[in-house]
Structure formats: C-alpha cells, structure tokens
Amino acid sequence: MTVPAAPLPAIAGLIRALPAVKSSEGEPWLRGDRGRRAAFYGRGSAALAVAASVLRENAAGGWKLWVPEYFCGDALAPARRLGIPLSFYPVKEDLSPDFPEDLAGPGALLLVHYFGFPNAAAAAGAACRRAGLTLIEDAAHVLIPCDGIGSSDWAIYSPRKLLALPSGGLLILPEKAVSQLPAAEPPEAGESARWALRRLTQSALRVARIPWHGGRSVPAAADGSDPAVRACSVYALSLLKQAEIGFGEVARRRRENFYRVASWIGHVRDARPLHHDLPDAVCPYAYPLRVPDAERFVGALRASGVPAYRWPDLPPEAGGPVARRLAAEMVLLPVHQSLLPRELERMRVALLEAGRA
Ligand SMILES: Cc1ncc(COP(=O)(O)O)c(C=O)c1O
C-alpha cells in the first residue's frame, strides 16, 4: 500500500472548476480587512520573493531579509533569483526565534509558523520594532489566519501545500503597496494538466490497491532560467475558490488525524513530539516529531509506503547547531484530509516498526 503524500482531488471537483469563477480576492485570508490586499502567485516562495523585492525597493541601501536558520533551502530560490540579500537568525529547540544581538534594519524579518502552529508573533513584532525591521509572517503551512497568525501587514500563504491544487501561493500586503507589485510570468504551460493526471493516476492506483512508492520520484528540474515569480493559473484559482467552502472540514479532518498520530507516538521508541497540544483554531500541516536519526527513520517509513519527510536541505549559510540538530532529528508525518482509515493504520504499524528497527 502507498499512503498518498498530498490530498487527492475528486474528479467531480476537477470538472466543476473548469469554467473559471471569480476569485474571492483572498477574503478568507483578509477577513474583511480593507487596509490589506491579497495577491496570488504560483507558489508561496514566489510570494515571499515579491514581498522582499517590494520592501527593498522602498528602503535605503543595505536592506536584507532575515530568515530563520531552520528553513527549507528550496523555498529561498525565487528570492535568491531576484538578488534579495539574506541573513540568517538562529532558532530555539521549540522553533521560536533566538534573536541575535546584531539584529538590525533596514530589512524585514521572516517569522515561520512551522507546520501550522502559531510562533511567537508578539515577541517577533516587538523585536522588529526595536530593530527597525518589517515583520513578514510565513504562513506557508497555515490554511487560514487564526489566533497568533496572520495579523501583520505582510504575510505569505501556500494553499497548494494543504489543498488539492496544482499551484497557489498568496501574498498579503498593505493596500498602499499594491501598485508596486511586479508583473509575474505566466504559469508553466501544462502544469495543471500534468498535476491532474498525476493525482488521478494515484487515485486510480489507490482504488485498485496497487502501490506506487517503489519507483524513483523525479526531482523538479532546477532550471536556472526558470522565472522567479510565476502567476497562479486560472484553473488553480477556480479550484481554490471551490475549496473555500470546505475549509472547516479540511481543518476538522487534519486535527482528527493529528490526534490519532499523537496517540501512537508514546509507543514509538525514542520519538518525541514537537507539540503536546493542538491549540483550538490550528489546522495542522503535518505531525512533527523528533527521533535520534531522522534519515534512517524516514527511509524505513518510506520503504513501507508512508510518505514521511524531513528538511535535509537547509540553506548553505545556515550553520547554527540547533538548526542542524533539528534538520537531523525532525520527521514530518502526513495528517492530510484525504487519508483513509486503512492508510492511517498502515502508518501506525510502520511507525512502531521504524521505532523498533
Ligand atoms: C516554511 C516555508 N515557507 C515557504 C515555503 C514556500 O512555499 P511553496 O512551496 O509554495 O513555494 C515553504 C515550502 O517548502 C516552506 O516550508
């Protein structure tokens, strides 16, 4: 059995979204706030690159973006392509920021709400005010704003990470900055069709109970000429608009799966959960846990068809001991809304076995 790594779309939904519908203009993320606007891109990392380039344009020389050392290196590729200068700050073992003495503007500070959990926004806001920095909330793992997430002027989201979508990243920005948004390149040709074909194939294999995790996954081509900022496809926007009505159900299922996984972790040898509580409004992106050797643990799970993963590719400049330890020990387990009871059971058995091995 292969447990799907991402939510799978229903055929009816894919067809219903074919006639493009008017987007909600980001209403679920803005919640009626007329002082801010939403701009859609293909990916959250493109939204981040745009935020940084607009803020840098408005500032004096020496502007830079402060990024936590525990960060997926790949997510910085568009910002690097736009030539955004980066600095890295350490994080603590609980992933909250460990602000350095030399934290200073001009620049912006990226605060990551890892795996959908609120992360020290009040402390980060105070540190930014002291240092003369603009706070950007990285809510790429967050479905929609909740207590402690998403009240800043600048934030990014990545609905494509939590929903069955071919693409979709979101930038929340002050209304007065909208006129400065750079033009985005069109979406990659055939992106939505390739995504739909891949997901429908996975759905068919799942129904037929044919595993598909044995093959080697093809890494996305790292093409240096790829544009940094692509627009979100009209089809993805249409799917997203259609998905909005089901956000409550997505959160409910993810929370239920999170609790189920949490109930097994005490039986997995040497596994430590990152979070002991799931705050009321949180829609978790994944179940994070720490083990002594994440590479071995993830390898064992993946060999059993369970798509656990980790962040092995920290940015090369990010050398802090805590970030390195987190990268070596953190494992992320899927809790997404498409998981079936038998797939959860496969995860439970595979986890217990990986802990024993
Ligand atoms: C914390 C964080 N921020 C931003 C991103 C970028 O989102 P996207 O994959 O939509 O570009 C990622 C993706 O890996 C991420 O993990």
* Ligand 1 center to 7 CA (angstroms): 17
Tell whether ligand 1 has an atom less than 6 A from the beta carbon of residue 163: no
**Rounded distance, CA 25 to CA 38, Å?**
6
Instruction: Give the pLDDT score at 347.
Output: 97
Three-state secondary-structure class, residue 230: strand
Structure tokens at 210: 């044919």
Long-range contacts, 261-268 (Cβ 8 Å, 24+): 261/287, 261/333, 261/335, 261/344, 261/347, 261/351, 262/287, 264/348, 264/351, 264/352, 265/289, 265/351, 267/352, 267/355, 268/351, 268/352, 268/354, 268/355
With 90 as the cut, is the pLDDT of residue 14 above it? Answer: yes
Which residue's alpha carbon is nearest to atom 14 within ligand 1? 75
With 90 as the cut, is the pLDDT of residue 223 above it? Answer: no
Measuring CA to CA, which residue among 253, 304, 307, 317 is closest to residue 70?
A: 317
Which residue's alpha carbon is nearest to atom 7 within ligand 1? 44
Tell whether ligand 1 has an atom less than 6 A from the beta carbon of residue 78: no
Instruction: Give the pLDDT score at 216.
Output: 66
Instruction: Give the pLDDT score at 80.
Output: 96
- pLDDT classification of 166: cutoffs 50, 70, 90: very high
With 90 as the cut, is the pLDDT of residue 161 above it? Answer: yes
In the chain the first and final C-alpha atoms are separated, in Å, by 20
Measuring CA to CA, which residue among 183, 317, 337 is closest to residue 257?
A: 337
Which residue's alpha carbon is nearest to atom 8 within ligand 1? 44
Query: Check: CATH 3.30.70.120 for 22-180?
Result: no
Instruction: Give the pLDDT score at 274.
Output: 96
Q: Give the range among 104-108, 169-173, 244-248, 314-318 with minimum mean pLDDT.
A: 314-318
- pLDDT classification of 220: cutoffs 50, 70, 90: low
Tell whether ligand 1 has an atom less than 6 A from the beta carbon of residue 166: no
Supply φ then ψ for residue 227, to 5 degrees: -65, 145
Structure tokens at 306: 């369970």
With 90 as the cut, is the pLDDT of residue 289 above it? Answer: yes
- pLDDT classification of 224: cutoffs 50, 70, 90: low
Instruction: From 43, 65, 72, 113, give the residue whose CB has the most ligand 1 atoms within 8 Å, as the site to mutate.
Output: 72
Q: How many CB atoms lie within 10 A of CB 246?
A: 14
CA angle 183-51-171, nearest 5°?
80
For the sheet containing 272-273, what is the strand order? 272-273, 286-290, 330-334
* Ligand 1 center to 269 CA (angstroms): 30
Q: From start to end of 7-75, where are the E strands?
A: 36-41, 64-68
Instruction: Quote the mean pLDDT of the chain.
Output: 94
Burial class of residue 100 in the structure, from the number of CB atoms within 10 Å of its CB (0-12 exposed, 13-18 middle, 19+ buried): middle
- pLDDT classification of 23: cutoffs 50, 70, 90: confident
Tell whether ligand 1 has an atom less than 6 A from the beta carbon of residue 112: yes
Tell whether ligand 1 has an atom less than 6 A from the beta carbon of residue 72: yes
Tell whether ligand 1 has an atom less than 6 A from the beta carbon of residue 169: yes
Instruction: Give the pLDDT score at 77.
Output: 95
Please enumerate in sequence order all residues whose Cβ is within 8 A of that of 171, keeping only pairs 6 or more positions apart, or say none: 38, 39, 40, 41, 47, 48, 50, 51, 154, 155, 156
- pLDDT classification of 217: cutoffs 50, 70, 90: low
Tell whether ligand 1 has an atom less than 6 A from the beta carbon of residue 160: yes
The stretch 2-27 carries a mean pLDDT of 91
Tell whether ligand 1 has an atom less than 6 A from the beta carbon of residue 45: yes
pLDDT above 90 coverage of the chain, percent: 88
* Ligand 1 center to 140 CA (angstroms): 5
Q: How many CB atoms lie within 10 A of CB 268?
A: 20
Supply φ then ψ for residue 38, to 5 degrees: -115, 140
pTM over 0.75? The answer is yes
Half-sphere exposure (CA, 13 Å, Cβ side) for 264? Answer: 21
pLDDT above 70 coverage of the chain, percent: 97
With 90 as the cut, is the pLDDT of residue 232 above it? Answer: yes
Tell whether ligand 1 has an atom less than 6 A from the beta carbon of residue 310: no
Instruction: Give the pLDDT score at 24.
Output: 78
The stretch 147-153 carries a mean pLDDT of 95
Stronger pLDDT, 199 or 313, i.e. the higher one: 199
- Bridging pattern class, strands 133-139 and 107-112: parallel
Instruction: From 76, 112, 138, give the residue whose CB has the most ligand 1 atoms within 8 Å, as the site to mutate.
Output: 138
The stretch 227-250 carries a mean pLDDT of 95
